[in-house]
Amino acid sequence: MKIGVIGAGYVGTTTSIVFAKYGYQVTLMDTNLEKIKTLYQSKLPFYEEGLKELLHDYIVEQRLSFTNSMEEIMKECNILFITVGTPSLENGKADLSFVEEVVTQMAKYMDDYKVIVIKSTVPVGTGDKLNDILKNELKIRNKAPTFDLVSNPEFLREGKALFDALYPDRVIVGCESTKAREIMKELYKDVDTSILFTTIKEAEMIKYASNAFLATKISFINELARLCDGKGVNINQVALGMGMDKRIGPDFLQAGIGYGGSCFPKDIKALLALAFDMDTPMPILQAVKDINETQSQWFMKKVKQELGNLEEKRIAILGLTFKPKTDDIREAPALKVIDYLLKNKASVTAYDPQGSEHVKKIYPTVTYTPTPLQALEDADAVLLLTEWQEILDIDWECAKSIISNPLLFDGRNALSPSNMMKLGYRYFGVGNTN
Ligand code: UGA
């Protein structure tokens, strides 16, 4: 089996490295030559712990190679994963143009049997559409269709990509041919988990449904946090108590300033757009989106209440990325917070271990510091927005002496309110403030 992966983004690069780890020969393709050059130098086009070392090893061992040629990858590989992006269009729908272009190009070089595996997140029914495109293109070339289409959605998280790809909770394979099913079974034989075989449409829906449900848990706990706030009820304790019920589970019940990233916001919009098209409203999902979109406003209202006029106030932001252990700032709540602060003429200083360079391009007037303590100098308030370990590890006692006003807004409920109060901070969290 020779594996080809098309699209050297987060999912594609991780998938390639993980299949190389399982001993397969993998070729990763991207039309962006710069990306290919970067990978050849054993460099990742994004930050993710643990991947760089493996990338280097597998290049040296010649298990992993790169190309920008569709012809080459189609000649060499018999299983082809599509991992290109499906960003949001203006109307919220997933933009399928990259996926469609990939299969159109594939058909040009398809001369023998191929398993085409869709890993990109695509709306229900996309498999059928891609099938049609492939068949039409092959017909133009007078070729009989010699492929099977498979939907194999990805469930890895940024920051934990390697772990999630190596130890998945489950593998979903949407597949309607016995031959392709056996190939997929063989492909995943060394992965210690269950494989659920479904139809292609079911697999497509499982991906959206999983992300939507996780986002629902987050918005539910955030809505409840608003209710707990100021009532002497700590949302963290409530989540702990709820999570002890196995039917509920403890994960994704961490209240905060809302979810971000390249997946939840985009996928929820796409599912809502699909529901709209099918004239089947999804009020729960709409509420999930609305709560998330207003969560940072709710948080900033607290800041405003405490500080009054924000003009010329020095605000220190700790954490910019949408979650720790990534340099990804897409849909990061910190962006909305910075926007609000700058519009209110505050002076903003920010620290993030990985995200500063990216945010600097959008907000050049913010001061970015190389250490967290430098960001705190003379601050009138501190806003913790991403729970990076190096931020939690700050010597908060020492920090207090350089902050002008020890006022702390913890947007991730990542610090202990009682400890911070003992150190003399006025502490405000999300649903854990008395
Ligand atoms: C998410 C899913 O968790 C993955 O299973 C999926 O494969 C991926 O999307 C995708 O579709 O590609 P990811 O966006 O990398 O992964 O990150 P998550 O760990 O899910 O976090 C998403 C956001 O929710 C972050 O902003 C995080 O801070 C927030 N979050 C998470 C909370 O606010 N509370 C929680 O309890 C958990």
> Residue 382: in which H helix or E strand, if any?
strand 381-384
| Average pLDDT, rounded, for the chain | 96
- Known binding residue 313? Answer is no
What ipTM was estimated for this complex? 0.99
Q: Is the pLDDT of residue 26 over 80?
A: yes
Cβ–ligand 1 contact at 47 (below 6 Å): no
In the chain, domain spans: 2-197, 211-428
d(CA 129, CA 272): 20
The fraction of the chain above a pLDDT of 90, given in percent, is: 98
Q: What backbone phi and psi angles, to 5 degrees, belong to 323?
A: -165, 165
Contact 115/180 with Cβ under 8 angstroms? yes
Over residues 300-306, the mean pLDDT reads: 96
Over residues 337-363, the mean pLDDT reads: 98
The fraction of the chain above a pLDDT of 70, given in percent, is: 100
Query: What tokens does 349 get?
Result: 């200083």
Quick one: pLDDT at residue 251? 98
Nearest 5°: the CA angle 14, 98, 289 is 75
d(CA 394, CA 380): 18
User: pLDDT of 28-67, one tens digit each?
Assistant: 999 999 999 999 999 999 999 999 999 999 999 999 999 9
User: pLDDT of 305-340, one tens digit each?
Assistant: 999 999 999 999 999 999 999 999 999 999 999 999
Q: Is the pLDDT of residue 434 over 80?
A: no
Cβ–ligand 1 contact at 46 (below 6 Å): no
d(CA 371, CA 343): 25
User: pLDDT of 114-136, one tens digit each?
Assistant: 999 999 999 999 999 999 999 99
- Shared fold status for 2-197 and 211-428: yes
Quick one: pLDDT at residue 91? 94
Closest CA to 96 of 335, 274, 251, 355: 274
Q: Is the pLDDT of residue 230 over 90?
A: no
d(CA 172, CA 182): 14
Nearest CA to ligand 1 atom 9: 263
In the reported structure, the alpha carbon of residue 431 is separated from the centroid of ligand 1 by a whole-number distance in angstroms of 20
158 CA: nearest ligand 1 atom? 15
**228 flagged as catalytic:** no
Over residues 136-157, the mean pLDDT reads: 95
The type of residue at 29 is: M
Nearest CA to ligand 1 atom 23: 259
Cβ–ligand 1 contact at 52 (below 6 Å): no
- pTM value surpassing 0.90: yes
Annotated catalytic residue: which of 77, 175, 228, 263?
A: 263
For residue 157, the 8-state DSSP code is P
Q: Is the pLDDT of residue 145 over 90?
A: no
Beta pairing, strands 381-384 & 79-82 = unpaired
- Answer yes or no: CATH 3.40.50.720 is held by domain 2-197: yes
Classify residue 229 as exposed, middle or buried by CB count within 10 Å of its CB (0-12, 13-18, 19+): buried
Nearest 5°: the CA angle 333, 338, 342 is 155
CATH architecture classification, 211-428: 3-Layer(aba) Sandwich (3.40)
Cβ–ligand 1 contact at 218 (below 6 Å): yes
Quick one: pLDDT at residue 59? 96
Beta pairing, strands 347-351 & 367-368 = parallel
